[in-house]
Amino acid sequence: MRLALALLPLTAQAVNIVSSNDDGWAEINIRTLFNSLTSAGHSVVVSAPAENQSGKGSSDKTPTKLTEACEFNSCPSGSPAIGHNASQPRLNYVNSYPLTSMKYGIDNISSQFYDAPDLAVSGPNAGSNLGVTVYFSGTVGAATYAAHNAGIPAIAFSGASGSQTGWNEETPLYSQVYADLATNVTNRVIASGTPYLPADVWLNVNFPSVSDSKCSTTDEFEFILSRIHLAVPLVTDDDVETCGSKRLPTETEVILKSGCYASVSVGMAGDKGDANATVQGEVLSKLGNFLTCLP
């Protein structure tokens, strides 16, 4: 059942957003996020793979003509390498990898609708992207390309619940919750003012499981500043000091904590590693009371 969930905090500024993923352009999560961001007033263009391209990391190749139907029969066999939904030209597929899809979205497709993207979002991925999995995730590959190669602040979203579902199925509760949470994070980043994120930085945001009885509405969630990779004692430098500690919890710690806690990690797009304490501190300052402490 679809729920009308509140989108908070609201932003007074509408921006241009390019959206991609690795689950494919016709997967329900990216379509639900498109609707949520558009309802919040943003100008959104989807440029995502024609097929499921999970696990492709930062692979890149020239798009090719379709030799079989797009996923969920969303376009016929023989379709061109790049195409769009007949009734909504802002929904585009690229028959290649997630990174390539983001690249084409930034360089070619988005210019049909606005001057240039202000922000890039990727996902929400069907499944978590925690720790070392960021190196293999196409959702992350798309986001880090935008930040590192195109200089566009980027956010990758992933959710623990659900599996790949077609755009024409009834919208699952988790998909709507994740879309509205992602819109809240996006709005908060925008509300903090330009530059939305430090140079070459991306945010890795992971949402915990959603069910009818737990974490079923956006107001149940709290956001925790985290780190992507496990810190090595006596080797890894201190993180930004917050919540009485100079060591941030890992994303896995946050997601496994009892409650509705979402992790927000500050990554460097060039190597997909954690940002240093100074850069973490810049993001902490921008997000302010949107973040809380893990009990």
- Residue 97: pLDDT band with limits 50, 70, 90: very high
Per-residue confidence (pLDDT) for residue 4, from 0 to 100: 36
Task: Give the span between the Cα atoms of 94 and 90, in whole angstroms.
Answer: 13
Per-residue confidence (pLDDT) for residue 15, from 0 to 100: 97
- Residue 92: pLDDT band with limits 50, 70, 90: very high
Strand pairing report for 82-84 and 91-94: antiparallel
16-292 folds as: Stationary-phase Survival Protein Sure Homolog; Chain: A, (3.40.1210)
**Nearest CA to 4 among 35, 27, 29?**
35
- Residue 13: pLDDT band with limits 50, 70, 90: confident
In this structure, what DSSP letter does residue 191 have? H
User: Domain extents for the chain?
Assistant: 16-292
Question: Residue 202 to residues 2, 151, 199, 210, 234: CA-CA distances in angstroms?
Answer: 30, 10, 9, 25, 26
CB 48 within 8 A of CB 74: no
Average pLDDT over residues 258-286: 97
Q: How many other C-beta atoms lie within 10 A of the C-beta of residue 81? A: 15
Structure tokens at 14: 């509408």
Question: Residue 23 to residues 20, 37, 40: CA-CA distances in angstroms?
Answer: 9, 19, 24
Average pLDDT over residues 106-133: 97
Per-residue confidence (pLDDT) for residue 269, from 0 to 100: 98
Average pLDDT over residues 95-113: 98
Residues 215-268 pLDDT 10s: 999 999 999 999 999 999 999 999 999 999 999 999 999 999 999 999 999 999
Per-residue confidence (pLDDT) for residue 56, from 0 to 100: 97
Task: Give the span between the Cα atoms of 52 and 54, in whole angstroms.
Answer: 6
3-state secondary structure 13-63: CCCEEEEECCCCCCEHHHHHHHHHHHHCCCEEEEEEECCCCCCCCCCCCCC
Task: Give the span between the Cα atoms of 112 and 20, in whole angstroms.
Answer: 17
Average pLDDT over residues 79-97: 97
Residues 165-215 pLDDT 10s: 999 999 999 999 999 999 999 999 999 999 999 999 999 999 999 999 999
Per-residue confidence (pLDDT) for residue 79, from 0 to 100: 98
Task: Give the span between the Cα atoms of 208 and 31, in whole angstroms.
Answer: 20
| Region at 72 (left for phi over 0; alpha for psi -120 to 50; beta for the rest) | left
Residues 28-86 pLDDT 10s: 999 999 999 999 999 999 999 999 999 999 999 999 999 999 999 999 999 999 999 99
